Amino acid sequence: MKIMSVFGTRPEAIKMCPLVKEIEKQHDMESIVCLSGQHREMLIPILELFEIKVNHNLDIMRPKQTLTTITADILTRIEDVLIKERPEIVLVHGDTTTSFVAALAAFYQKIPVGHVEAGLRSGDKFSPYPEEMNRTLTTRIAELHFAPTENNKSNLLKEGITEGITVTGNTVMDAFHTTLKENYEFQNELLKTKDLTKGRWILLTAHRRENLGKPLEQICEAVKQIVKNNKDVNVVYPVHPNPAVRETVENILKNQERVYLTEPFDVQDMHNLMRRSYLVLTDSGGLQEEAPSCGVPVLVLRTETERPEAVQAGTVRIIGVETEDIVRETEVLLHNKTAYEQMAMAVNPYGDGKASCYIVEALRKWGQETLG
Ligand code: UD1
Ligand code: UDP
């Protein structure tokens, strides 16, 4: 069975590489990797770490790309690749524009689609934007749905999807086998030189489209106040290369004492830093899955989440994007030991780290039933 995995952004790569490695191990499967190129330099260290052989790269990234240019460029360029390779199935991941457009392009060629990380829903089509719509539309197209949790499966059932669902856990837990290390030595110059056991370290990431502009300004103002009020607190912020993010962040936070703005970390540095952080402030989806399993509290800089599992378990809290809310909620965790300890327990609703194996098994079963 020829299986083509299509991905293009950082989180897709982190979560698809363990699956690609698993497919490569199978004697009855052929793995083809097609990058959309939606992200460029942020993908390189991930592909190197997992030693992924790339067969096709659509190389679409341009500065300040819009949803329209990403969509049009992928749709146009992937057609030839699908026709040339003619895989039995195309695998896409999650909710990016790469995922949705690759699924649509496969549908146009009547090639079945398997959706990894299926069934996440916030219930608001504009938040996260455009991800909620991307994943909902991908569900309509897909034949196979690999849902990380039972809750994700029930979201699919509510939408009338009754066949092809397998609950697998999240492949990010599989990625941890490669990235997390007990006596890890950091690669990044800043992390090499700082003593992370001195003071308290907050890891911050913020880049979502719906937070660009005023919300991101409010987040940065909150960070300024938090470090001003708390002299033992350091904030590390690996800044997304999007110029719209960089402009705001540098305007407000550049040269602030104990605020370290850096280039994005490679995923090994990132996961090992996260594990050693006091808390995580983020608008990222992936960090809401990763930090809880390391026992690190997460305050989410959004007004909703499609990942309610760790919220229910008590290790993730949604705090929005107002400056005073961010300062107040962060300071509760800095000053109230009981509140901190209640959130700092290790919780892992995302499986046993073998999601890739379960996906491969489901693919094999599907292949035997439909292809003979
Ligand atoms: C995309 C996804 C989002 C995902 C995020 C992960 C969509 C619509 N958005 O958003 O769901 O959470 O990736 O990070 O699919 N850039 C570079 N180098 C890179 C990557 C990006 O310079 O390696 C810059 C480019 O100027 C680019 C801009 O960042 O135009 C924005 O990239 P884009 O993929 O459009 O948006 P993200 O916010 O990264
Ligand atoms: N990440 C990383 N380096 C960084 C910031 C994030 O490796 O500097 C990882 C993070 O650990 C997680 C993924 O990138 O695995 C999350 O990506 P992002 O926040 O861009 O996307 P989202 O999860 O919100 O879709």
The residue annotated as part of the active site, out of 117, 266, 269, 283, is 117
Q: Given pLDDT bands bounded at 50, 70 and 90, which one contains residue 141?
A: very high
For residue 243, the ligand closest to its alpha carbon is 1
Asked if the domains 2-170+352-370 and 189-344 are classified in one and the same CATH topology, the answer is yes
Task: Output the CA 203–ligand 1 centroid distance in Å.
Answer: 20
The residue annotated as part of the active site, out of 93, 208, 240, 275, is 240
275 as an active site residue: the answer is: no
86 as an active site residue: the answer is: no
CATH of domain 2-170+352-370: 3.40.50.2000
135 as an active site residue: the answer is: no
Three-state SS for 102-153 is: HHHHHHHCCCCEEEECCCCCCCECCECCCHHHHHHHHHHHCCEEEECCHHHH
Q: Given pLDDT bands bounded at 50, 70 and 90, which one contains residue 143?
A: very high
Task: Give the Cα separation of 67 and 268 in Å (integer).
Answer: 29
The string of pLDDT tens digits covering residues 257-272 is: 999 999 999 999 999 9
Whether 308 contacts 298, CB under 8 Å:
no
Q: Which CATH class is domain 189-344?
A: alpha beta
95 as an active site residue: the answer is: yes
* C-alpha dist (Å) from residue 39 to 8, 118, 134, 205, 329: 6, 22, 17, 17, 33
The string of pLDDT tens digits covering residues 188-197 is: 999 999 999 9
189 as an active site residue: the answer is: no
By DSSP bridging, strand 279-282 and strand 259-262 are unpaired
For residue 9, the ligand closest to its alpha carbon is 1
For residue 284, the ligand closest to its alpha carbon is 2
Whether 88 contacts 371, CB under 8 Å:
yes
Mutate which of 38, 75, 247, 263 for ligand 1 pocket (most atoms within 8 A of beta carbon): 38
How many Cβ atoms are within 10 Å of 66's Cβ, its own excluded? 10
* pLDDT, mean of residues 297-322: 96
Whether 20 contacts 50, CB under 8 Å:
yes
Whether 69 contacts 77, CB under 8 Å:
no
How many Cβ atoms are within 10 Å of 277's Cβ, its own excluded? 21
pLDDT of residue 184: 94
The string of pLDDT tens digits covering residues 214-234 is: 999 999 999 999 999 999 999
* Nearest atom within ligand 2 for CA of residue 46: 7
Residues flanking ligand 2, CB < 6 Å: 10-11, 14, 205, 238, 264-265, 267, 270-271, 284-287, 290
State the Cα angle at 93 between 22 and 161, rounded to 5°: 105
Task: Give the Cα separation of 111 and 85 in Å (integer).
Answer: 11
Task: Output the CA 44–ligand 2 centroid distance in Å.
Answer: 14
State the Cα angle at 9 between 49 and 261, rounded to 5°: 80
CA nearest 202: which of 307, 296, 288? 296
Task: Output the CA 7–ligand 2 centroid distance in Å.
Answer: 14
pLDDT over threshold 90, residue 346: no
Percent of the chain past pLDDT 90, that is, above it, reads: 97
In the chain, where the domains are located: 2-170+352-370, 189-344
Q: Which DSSP state fits 258?
A: T
Task: Output the CA 10–ligand 2 centroid distance in Å.
Answer: 6
pLDDT of residue 347: 87
Protein residue closest via CA to atom 8 of ligand 2: 264
* C-alpha dist (Å) from residue 223 to 129, 206, 266: 24, 12, 23
Task: Output the CA 370–ligand 2 centroid distance in Å.
Answer: 36
209 as an active site residue: the answer is: yes
User: Could you tell me which residues come within 8 angstroms of residue 200 by beta carbon, excluding any fewer than 6 positions away?
Assistant: 230, 232, 233, 234, 278, 334
* pLDDT, mean of residues 49-66: 96
* pLDDT, mean of residues 322-335: 98
